[in-house]
Chains A and B, each alone.
Chain A
Amino acid sequence: MTDILHPAETETSYRVIGTRQQRYDATDKVTGRAQYGADIRLPNMLYGKVLRSPHAHAIIKSIDTSAAEALPGVKAVITAADLPDVADKLVDAGEGATTNLRYQSNNVLARDKVLYFGHALAAVCATNAHIAEEALALIKVDYEVLPPVLDVREAMKPDAPILHDHLRTDEMGQKSSAPTNVALHIQHLLGDVDHAFREAAVIVEREVNTAAVHQGYIEPHNATALYNAAGQLTVWCSTQGAFGVRSQLSDILQIPVADVRVMPTEIGGGFGGKISVYLEPLAALLSWKSGHRPVQLTMNRAEDLAATGPTSGSYIRIKLGADTQGHITAAEAYLAYEAGAYPGSFIGSGAAMLLAPYKIANVRIDGYDVVLNKPHVTAYRAPGSSNAAFAAEVLIDELAERCGIDPLEFRLLNCAKEGDRRPDGLLQPRIGMWQTLEAARTHPHYTAPLEGKHTGRGIACAYWDNYGGQSSVSACVNTDGTINLVIGSIDLSGERTATAMQLAETLGITTGQIVPQIGDTNSVGDTEGSYGSRTTFATGWAAYLLGKKIIDELTQRVARLWELSPESITYKDGEFHADNRCISFNEIAAELDHLGGALMVNITARPSGLGPGVATHIVDVEVDPDTGKVDILRYTAIQDAGKAIHPDFVEGQIQGGVVQGIGWALNEAYIYSPEGHLLNTTLLDYRMPTSLDVPMIDTVIVEVPNPYHPYGVRGVGEVPIGPPPAAIANAIYKAVGVWLDVLPMSPANVLEALWKKQVVSGD
């Protein structure tokens, strides 16, 4: 069930926006015709496999590939020696993160050390995948095994095993002197925190630990490359950003950008995990070295879990203080985020989003980025913020209880509004925080009777900044009035349609007249990847500007036809008007050949004015006190979507985000042996939610339009993953009286918490 609420008075009526159009690519996806990366088949193609480290931390003393090269059917073997030894250089890693080029290269193929179980260090291509796999077994690697460090707090200790001898802490701009695993320390400081805590009537404090989790897209990483003798490289792959793959390939291989053409295929899920390259440079090198034959690499699931993703595990400590009326007056937090093998976790967004839904005058937040012997983390849906929301929102509930106020009323009392100062110092733009809380209060779910003995209801909020960035689109207007629209963004879940709808709205025509396609890197302007909930916002902006430019160009043509000045001509609802004359979009399109020729228009947009996404979720759970298993009985997700361009897609994003959040809350975790071997490398043991684990997910779309977008769009994809862990923890507390301070809240962890409570209370 879905409701759409319009708390703002500014509701505008649209012709196309807000309707539920069928997706352009959906028919191909229900018939098996859609072509994903691993579906590429090229003549004379070879198949590649990657050799991965069995150790979490070791020096590579030597690699002998001679026996593998001699195996019949093997066409090439590569190691880091085949990659250029790149210098330190900061490069864009997507979602606002940067990384060092040397780290990126060493992550693709380890050079001196392997830093995690599954770290790639050689690759083979052969006439079939089985031969390539046999060849891997013939590669001899001599390792000097080093002790690993796998826990974020252990890694921060002065005597911890050091991953990078040269690494020094960036201590708010100053470099520390001794080798360390702490790459970065950031701080947000607002008001006088110590004084505020001294004055506070109620103080609560809690520390939580959260496990690393994987994005869990169903399509593993893949890449197919053809690197011809002229030095032109073409790569087909499933990626969230074709231009990002192009620049990473250019950087890692040290070749000109123009020599790299990236052909994005359909993508089988990303969630942030398909921004960094892993296989693409290997496929390129293997193609070059095998005599310029096309080479395809696909990861199996164990490789994908061991060597890509995940998102940060974390240790977070928070302290909150409130006055006698229940206003939060002080907050102090310490966040340590796992970066994996190389610096660059999402500690920045974690620290910024931690208490962003609330207005608090005195705040001190310290964040640490810490390397350890796990795969280098990548973005995962609102990266960094779900860990933080879990820690904060559970403590908010505890503080509400201590203040004797209903948790929803407590949040309404403290929630931030436009113009308030955020904990990271920024001013709040227009957000729908109180509107989602108000919608929760009046939703039938919030007051429905709860049945059963060990049942409980919880709520939680989350906040995600969303992101803008650069987007390009281009269009050809055809003489029959149809438009071929080329989009630089990747279509993860309806972007062709959402972009075409915004163009159709701008032009006053139907989406049936527009045929959108996703461009390769030679066919459209540079566009950032589909991440950060930026695409419907920024690429939609570009589509709007494209529509305006098409109207301007066509106005010129009409002016020529009517022998009038362009200024005297207006355009409305698909028709040009001047005096009593009128010509439709289709009619002027038919005259293009006689009025200056074909019309092709390009736009590159870099919109600012992001609209943060906020959400309030309600969940009912049942806890089995004998097994610790938690069942989700009912779930309602309320979210400010700005303007929902396509309500089905918005609901789908919310429902998908919620269920990922449920998996994070209850089951998902990277489990390592003390030696640093990943123990759960299958989807049976890395346990994501199935259809049986979840109920229907009710959604309420609250529309508080973003004033900085022509159609009011905010991003919608990311924020719904934030509230579930905390909402479920708060519901578990109501059900059985224990606060969980660990993710996942697996049966074992819930039982342990129940046993501790029994020991303490003597039950």
Chain B
Amino acid sequence: MMLNKVQVQARINGDDVEFLCEPRQSLLEVLRDTLWLTGTKEGCNNGNCGACSVIMDGVLVDSCLVLGVEAQGKTIQTIEGLSQAGELHPIQQQFLKHAALQCGICTPGLIMATKALLDHNPNPTEHEARLWLAGNLCRCTGYDKIVRAVLDAAQVMKEMP
């Protein structure tokens, strides 16, 4: 028996988006399977790995722990919306410069988590960065190059007009 779908309106990466979803579907599932925004990744589907991190009304969330219907009226930023007019965001540029990724599956989540960190705290210490990013697991890098990229991104963004 199919459940009734709910109509949801949200602002995603600057665009007004309408979608239908079942009440049991997570925001992660809606992003990936309904809207085909597959840049947001599924690593555990229970809030433990951070691969599905997105920013909802300015708050970093695991999109697997948010229901699709909860997106109603919300503003959501995903990895697909971070670079503007073909220009990579400074966080993305620093991840490239520092070779802060290997397989890359955790990278979208880590970049969104970094965005949320620097929105809240433009000048984090190494410890503050490590504490904030502890919700985003990376199995390839040992975090060294990621933390360096995050700290350098903070410097670059402070110097931006």
Contact = CB atoms under 8 A, between A and B. Distances in A.
A26 to B, nearest CB: 5
A298 interface: yes
Contacts of B38: 32, 35-36, 38-39, 41
Contacts of A414: none
A219 B105 contact: yes
A31 B39 contact: yes
Contact of A655 (B49, B92, B134, B141): B141
A321 interface: no
* Consensus secondary structure, chain A interface: loop
Contacts of A202: none
A694 B142 contact: yes
Interface residues of A, number: 60
A652 B82 CA distance: 25
A560 interface: no
Contacts of B137: 218, 683, 688, 690
A29 B144 contact: no
B44 A691 contact: no
B131 A218 contact: no
A301 B46 contact: yes
A36 B48 contact: no
B96 A27 contact: yes
A271 B134 contact: no
B22 A493 contact: no
B139 A216 contact: yes
Given A41-B36, A652-B102, A683 B44 contact: yes
A590 B154 CA distance: 46
Nearest to B46: A682
Contact of B147 (A23, A656, A696): A696
A30 B92 contact: yes
Interface residues of B, number: 58
A648 B24 contact: no
Contacts of A215: 139
Contacts of A23: 96, 99
Most A Cβ at <10 Å: residue of B44, B96, B104, B134: B104
Contact of A26 (B40, B101, B135, B138): B101
A660 interface: yes
Nearest to B143: A691
B144 A268 contact: no
Contact of A22 (B51, B96, B143, B144): B96
Contact of B133 (A39, A217, A691): A691
B103 interface: yes
A340 B95 CA distance: 39
Contacts of B147: 691, 696
Nearest to B91: A30
Which 6 A/B pairs are nearest by Cβ-Cβ distance? Answer: A32-B39, A268-B105, A29-B104, A659-B142, A655-B142, A32-B79
20 contacts: A26-B99, A26-B104, A31-B39, A32-B40, A36-B105, A39-B38, A41-B38, A217-B105, A266-B105, A268-B105, A268-B106, A301-B44, A493-B103, A652-B140, A652-B142, A690-B133, A691-B134, A691-B147, A692-B133, A696-B126
Interface of B: 1-2, 22, 24, 32, 36-46, 48-49, 51, 78-80, 82-83, 88, 92, 95-96, 99, 101-108, 111, 126, 129-131, 133-148
